[in-house]
Structure 1
Amino acid sequence: MPEPGHTTGATTDDPAADPASGAQLTSLSTRAARQLATTTKSEPQMQGISSRWLIRMLPWLDIKGGTYRVNRRLHLRVGRGRVAFEHNGADDIRVVPETLTELPPLHGYSDTGVLAELASRFRPREVRPGEVLCEAGQPITDTYLVVHGRLTRYAEGLYGEEGVVGVLTDGDQVGDEAVGQAEPRWTTSVRADTAGVLLALPWQSLRELTAREASLAAHLAAYAERQKLPANRRGEADIPMQAGHTGEPTLSSGFVDYELRPREYELSLTQTVLKVHSRVSDLYNDPMDQTQQQLRLTIEAIRERQEWELVNNREFGLLHNTDYGQRISTYSGPPTPDDLDDLLAMRRKTRLFIAHPKAIAAFFRQCNKRGLLPGSADVGGHQVPAWRGVPIFPCGKIPVSAQHTSSIIALRTGEDDQGVVGLHATGIPEEYQPGLNVRFMGVNQAAVISYLVTAYYSMAILVPDAVGILENVQLGRVE
């Protein structure tokens, strides 16, 4: 029996307080604290710490007010998205009606009943490897959605050779560009590289539906009219001008129009409450401060989660916010030098690649197969692999799918170059690091001290071509 006035708890040396006994601790026990208080020892180590190159390489803007607005010129050409599908067996595959608005002609259309009717008119079609879906010059009679598989768009070159124009994979579309054309024809040929499943919509079926649904007909007509408006190659509203003239002609006039609803990025956050027992912080601080060591490792974990969010967050992460027009697929599965060259060709001033370490290894295997030696780049005294002078940084936060595929991301960074920028707020109360603060929350009746640790951050893509993604990167393929 304990003496009157004597208390026992989870932070005593009682064997019952040992974690192995099943007792639930709310702070570091004295037994664990002694591991830092006796003998010559190291600081606590943590396997979960990575190099966090993405956080280190991003230029960070100080955001006052917690919101960053990205103003852009008026964009007339609607970008492509990707549709989703429902699988109810091998022969019952349907497009999710609400995702049909990812098709440029249907962008912004809100009548769900009509969309459901339109979705029901798609019919499954299986394709075999090598099967030609359509040939350049033929009339467009169907539009296709790729449920599964890989198809290549190609055109005939100047001397009759075949030139690859692009690759279509799961969720892509082809044929919808015929909307608004009187006699649409295929501009490229399409061939299946693998076995696959498509959903096909005959144009005659679409005409029947538009004849019956006035709202759909009006929406498609408005889309066709927008396509006729002058725009630059990026789809922005054109600025009238003329060049090479002589004499005194009347000059063109106009203005630069802006998006009326620009995107705004609010700072996100990662938070946790760190608990330290007062006895531990009072008695076991030599030679290492227990609170500081606990805080150091907590901040490392928060920064790891921060980088994960920068890659995977649905609101601002790179994988979910990169324009679909800036996504390409590998030609054959593994990431080849040709694939990375195509990714580089999509933008100016690419500053860096980030890729899962296994994707980098897969790329090196393809270089070895071709007898190529990738270069290296000096980044802050570190030698990192590079391709065409652009450093390739490892990032384990890029996911690897169940099919053992991943992605490689290319970025242009900096506000001056209209690239990708990190967002944070500095000068916040009780700031411990830029954009991160530690606030004392008090001591509870169990003598446990609590600290609120918070990191504020986000990311903004200033223009769509600042980021590009090489998708369907196959890992582990050895030839």
Structure 2
Amino acid sequence: MVAQLVAEWRMSLSTTAARNLATTTKTRPQSQEITDRWLLRVLPWVEARGGAYRVNRRRVPVAGDGLVGCTAIGSLYRVIPSELAEVLAGFADEDVLSALSDRFEQREFAAGDTLPADGVTVVAHGKVSKLGRGEYGDTVVIDVLGEGGCVGQEVFRGGEPNYRVEAVTDVTALTLPRSAVAAVLDAAPHLREHLSRRPPAVNKRGEAEIAVASGHDGEVTLPGTYADYELHPREYELSVAQAVLRIHTRVSDLYSAPMNQAEEQLRLTIEALRERQEREMVTNRDFGLLHNVDPSQRIRTRTGPPTPDDMDNLLSRRRKTQVLLAHPRTIAAFGRECSRRGLNPPSVSVEGTEQASWRGVPLLPCDKIPIGQGGTSAVIAMRMGEENQGVVGLYQTGLPEEHQPGLSVRFMGIDEKAIASYLVTTYYSAAVLVPDALGVLDGVQL
């Protein structure tokens, strides 16, 4: 009754009734999952014909990552015997390595403690700094080591370390006293003989050296040489991300104006595939960037937060770093450290947008870089392109029913329920051509 009276009192048509005759302006379907995907945008893409990409390199006579792995049972750690070959020039006698492993003693250190210098120490958990004396008597940080880091290897060859080791965080370490090293060397003379051999000639990158003569005069005999190759180069096979998109024919037939339902469904599905592609290229344990960093290019922060000093250390590990990738929260943490020091790094233009930078290298956001339970993340530094011996993305174009480069959409038919199916597929991978093309700053505290 009240509504009828109100309607009688109106002097014009209500907006509620008028909307029945109006055309509504609509947006395309939106998705919060879509990001800038900077990694996919800046990475150079290379054709991988045959679905594989072989990276040929010069031979490295003594291969290894330089880290000594440990196993853990509860709170008890033990050095993996075979991992000791990393610091023993490839020595492979399992009995001797087991005897060495059994002699390691587990010790706990608090942040700020100095670790013992008279022996070999393996970091099982935590972070330590190698500290040396500078030219003017000041203390300088030589390196920062995390899990698997080993110090005191000089003891195996009778040397003395010219540095001290200090715990940055609470540390669990496995220590091998000099007396235990001497006992094992006395019981295994072939190990002592192995360590006394002259190592193969290598360049500063560890590759088999190419002998070159220079500065000579007259008729001298020039050295014969050749460039040796890896016998078993790595091959990267293209990975795949797929989805079966289903659309009822009644929906596509009757409700495709003003927007085509099939096109919108396909667009959102492709966006999801591209997001998954970038995540895999960062975190996949086979070809993901975070898992393909050479140990020499994996460094840790000196204190915790990402400071300008840490960024400089990361950039100095390679020539021509072209891009830095970090989680948006990591970029915010770096900005706070710059502000604390009164620094304001200039932004740089990347594809028409202003981005943060350091030393002129763009610092691009990538939310696919994970954040650990302890609130730590990583910063990725890359040199890119085949011509730069850098990092490249891999794909294959010319696929049947290709919709975008390296992505195909294939009609699979209509079933008895009148549902049309489309197979959406993209093939991709990433390859690191030489170790120093890719680096990571690990343990970044946010």
How high is the TM-score relative to the length of structure 1? Answer: 0.83
Hey, what does 2:77 align to over in structure 1?
93
Alignment of 1:181-330 (within 5 A): 181=157, 183-205=158-180, 217=190, 225=197, 228-330=199-301
* 5+ residue gaps, structure 2: 1-22
Mapped partners of 1:281, 1:96: distance in 2: 60
Mapped partners of 1:316, 1:470: distance in 2: 18
**Match of 1:133, SS?**
coil
| Farther-moved stretch of structure 1 (335-344 vs 240-249) | 240-249
- C-alpha contact 1:60 1:424 (8 A) present in aligned 2: yes
Alignment of 1:258-407 (within 5 A): 258-407=229-378
Hey, what does 2:133 align to over in structure 1?
156
Hey, what does 1:442 align to over in structure 2?
413
- C-alpha contact 2:68 2:84 (8 A) present in aligned 1: no
Measured after TM superposition, the shift of residue 131 of structure 1 is 2.6
- C-alpha contact 1:148 1:197 (8 A) present in aligned 2: yes
1:471 aligns to 2:442 (yes or no): yes
Hey, what does 2:86 align to over in structure 1?
103
Residue 156 to residue 391, structure 1, CA distance change in 2 (3 Å): same
Return the match for 1:83 from 49, 69, 74: 69
- C-alpha contact 1:103 1:176 (8 A) present in aligned 2: no
**Match of 2:428, SS?**
strand
Residue 474 to residue 381, structure 1, CA distance change in 2 (3 Å): same
Deviations 1:380-402 (A, max 9, x none): 11111111000000000001111
Residue 221 to residue 297, structure 1, CA distance change in 2 (3 Å): farther
Measured after TM superposition, the shift of residue 122 of structure 1 is 2.1
Residue 190 to residue 269, structure 1, CA distance change in 2 (3 Å): same
| Farther-moved stretch of structure 1 (314-323 vs 196-205) | 196-205
**Match of 2:263, SS?**
helix
1:122 aligns to 2:104 (yes or no): yes
Measured after TM superposition, the shift of residue 305 of structure 1 is 0.5
Measured after TM superposition, the shift of residue 193 of structure 1 is 2.7
Deviations 1:226-285 (A, max 9, x none): x62111111111111121111111112211111111111000111111111111111111
Mapped partners of 2:416, 2:371: distance in 1: 46
| Farther-moved stretch of structure 1 (271-280 vs 118-127) | 118-127
* 5+ residue gaps, structure 1: 1-37, 136-140
Residue 332 to residue 458, structure 1, CA distance change in 2 (3 Å): same
Mapped partners of 1:460, 1:210: distance in 2: 42
**Match of 1:191, SS?**
strand
Hey, what does 2:11 align to over in structure 1?
none
Residue 197 to residue 429, structure 1, CA distance change in 2 (3 Å): same
Return the match for 1:142 from 103, 119, 122: 119
- C-alpha contact 2:68 2:80 (8 A) present in aligned 1: no
Measured after TM superposition, the shift of residue 417 of structure 1 is 0.6
Q: Percent identity?
A: 48
Hey, what does 1:33 align to over in structure 2?
none
Mapped partners of 2:236, 2:96: distance in 1: 33
**Match of 1:234, SS?**
coil
Deviations 1:325-383 (A, max 9, x none): 10111111111001101111111000000001111000000000000001111111111
Hey, what does 1:32 align to over in structure 2?
none
Hey, what does 1:16 align to over in structure 2?
none
Mapped partners of 2:93, 2:423: distance in 1: 44
Measured after TM superposition, the shift of residue 171 of structure 1 is 2.7
Residue 221 to residue 433, structure 1, CA distance change in 2 (3 Å): farther
Hey, what does 1:40 align to over in structure 2?
25
- C-alpha contact 1:411 1:467 (8 A) present in aligned 2: yes
Matched residue count: 423
- C-alpha contact 2:70 2:77 (8 A) present in aligned 1: no
Mapped partners of 1:457, 1:213: distance in 2: 50
- C-alpha contact 1:68 1:265 (8 A) present in aligned 2: yes
Return the match for 1:175 from 139, 142, 152: 152
